[in-house]
Amino acid sequence: MFLRKRMSRYTQGCSDKSVGTDELNRENSMNKDYLNRINIIKEKLEQADAVVIGAGAGLSTAAGFTYSGERFDRYFSDFGEKYGFTDMYSGGFYDFDTLEEYWAYWSRYVYVNRYMNPPKPLYRDIFELVKNKDYFVLTTNVDHCFQKAGFDKERMFYTQGDYGLFQCSRPCHDKTYDNEEIIKKMVLSQGFKIENIQCADSEKDGKTENILVKPQDTEIKLTIPTELVPRCPKCGRPMSMNLRADNTFVQDDGWYMAADRYEKFMENYRGQKILFLELGVGFNTPGIIKYNFWKYAAGWKNAFYVCINKGEAYVPGEIVDKSVSVNEDISVVCHNYSLRKGH
């Protein structure tokens, strides 16, 4: 089976060293190879009848949604000091003693990763590349960045859930609930403020966003009032996030409708020139995007596969003649692509 066979890895990079003619020749060769790959992507995108974007966590990371470092310190340093974890992801698995503390943590987590924009306008840059094409987005990301960047919600399938939705923790019924208003109340109850500022890419259109701010000389609480703890409107049990973590994940009507739209899109373009553009997809859940893209590239005569992911740019040998990979930061590739558009 071709997925089990040896994979070829394609890498490129640039060196800051200047240690002689041989080194410079190697650097120039790698630069030419990199630009050649950008040109191939440009050509295939222009020729494509349709584009299917497959997006994983690496895309949001490239856009600046990092779960450790400065962002963690800004919003979660108090939790980190108390419980010893150093990144948002680890904190999401912590077994807090009370629901009031659990939701204090998760309300911050949801607000900064769902209701604030990523630091870099990468998603909007990608939208500019495909907005005049017939496209569809298949993603395991749950941060809603595609829709915030202008992508049509009818052309997206969020397979693993949405930070912006609650569900019954049992669950007693297959329905999800928008959580924006209650999440705002939770973070405000802890002492944060929400301020309206210009977006990172506001020079284009003057858009603003509401960011979470810690006021000076204010002690931020690590709990929320009991009355803000979300509970199921049917059975009264605590609500949970609509994230695929176990067999309690709710696939609501919207989930199934999105799945149907994706299947119809794929069927409509069977046999046509279709570009599978994989961005930031690793091997945590490869069966949802990566392996399916490989299968389509191998089985569909006019399909072409692009993989962009720094450190994990792999292509199976069986589709090497109809694929290109770029082992570089997606934001860098997108910028370089834009520079090549006029060439």
pLDDT higher than 80, residue 283? yes
Q: Which two tokens stand for residue 234?
A: 């049917």
**In the structure, what pLDDT confidence band is assigned to residue 134 with cuts at 50, 70 and 90?**
very high
The mean pLDDT value for 23-34 works out to: 66
Residue 208: pLDDT band by 50, 70, 90 thresholds?
confident
Token pair for residue 181? Answer: 């208003």
pLDDT of 142-167, one tens digit each?
999 999 999 999 999 999 999 999 99
pLDDT(10) > 50: no
**Quick one: pLDDT at residue 207?**
77
Picking from 303, 164, 211, the residue whose alpha carbon sits closest to that of residue 292 is 303
Nearest C-alpha neighbor of 89 from the set 163, 168, 39: 163
Q: State the average pLDDT over residues 265-274.
A: 97
Q: Which helix (H) or strand (E) segment is 38 a member of? A: helix 21-47
Residue where the block lists tokens 């680890």: 90
User: What's the pTM?
Assistant: 0.89
- Mean pLDDT rounded to a whole number for the chain: 91
Specify the pLDDT at position 198: 79
Residue of 4, 3, 12 whose CA lies nearest to 41: 12
Q: Evaluate the CA torsion angle 297, 127, 195, 144 in order and state its sign.
A: negative
Name the token pair of 8.
């070829």
pLDDT value at residue 339: 75
DSSP reduced 3-state for 61: helix
pLDDT tens digits for range 249-268 = 999 999 999 999 999 999 99
Residue 301 in this model has a pLDDT that exceeds 80? yes
pLDDT of 17 strictly over 50: no
pLDDT of residue 43: 97
- pLDDT of residue 22 exceeding 90, the answer is no
Decide if pLDDT at 314 tops 80. yes
pLDDT at 21: 60
Residue 210 pLDDT greater than 70, yes or no = yes
What is the pLDDT, as a whole number, of residue 193? 97
Band (pLDDT 50/70/90 cuts) for residue 217 is confident
CA distance 90 to 160: 18
CB atoms inside a 10 Å sphere around CB 114? 19
What's the one-letter identity of residue 177?
Answer: Y
Residue % of the chain over a pLDDT of 70? 88
Determine the pLDDT at residue 200.
58
In this structure, which amino acid lies at residue 311?
Answer: G
pLDDT of residue 1: 46
Would you say residue 230 has pLDDT above 70?
A: yes
